[in-house]
Amino acid sequence: MRVAREITIKLLLRKMDKSPAGRFLVDGFPRNLNNLEGWQSVVGDGKYVPFVLFFDAPEAVMEGRLLERGKTSGRVDDNLAAIKRRFKTYADSTFPIIERFAAEGRVRKVDAVGSMDDVYARVRKIMDEFEQPAARWCLQYHVQSRAHLQQYFARKERSPNPPEH
């Protein structure tokens, strides 16, 4: 059974709104352009997505990891045939989202080859750069619309002090 995209998005937003955290890492969403269009339709400019993390690894590496996981996961879809189908679905449905965000300069590529600690260190570096004071302030600044954000950056280029809000 599939859940309508609007329901998924509203559930996600409800959790985000109830959280004291100002930033979120959402894993596996949107999975396709339909999900992305739903997000844009429901959320509009209400939540800004500064970037997406793109974990880059060859299919052979991912296949090996999933087959290894299948030995203990109990998941029926951790078999070679299902994995191949998931790779095709990813290429057809999910990768276009990466391309769209990349065209906007909003992809942070992570070399996902190596140990879990190696990959985590790479992600941590990206997040640490993102969490610098200027980036933190930008995220906490209440953005009413895309035009509002553009005005903020236009003022920021002219003045070292952020506008009061």
- List the domain boundaries for the chain: 1-49
Q: Which helix (H) or strand (E) holds 109?
A: strand 107-111
Single pTM value for the model: 0.70
pLDDT over 70 at 133, yes or no: no
pLDDT, one tens digit per residue, over 33-58 is 998 999 888 888 777 788 899 999 99
- Residues facing residue 130 across a β-bridge: none
Q: Quick one: CA torsion of 131, 137, 141, 143, rounded to 10 degrees?
A: -50
Of 62, 92, 93, which is closest to residue 80 (Cα–Cα)?
62
Q: Are strands 107-111 and 52-56 parallel, antiparallel or unpaired?
A: parallel
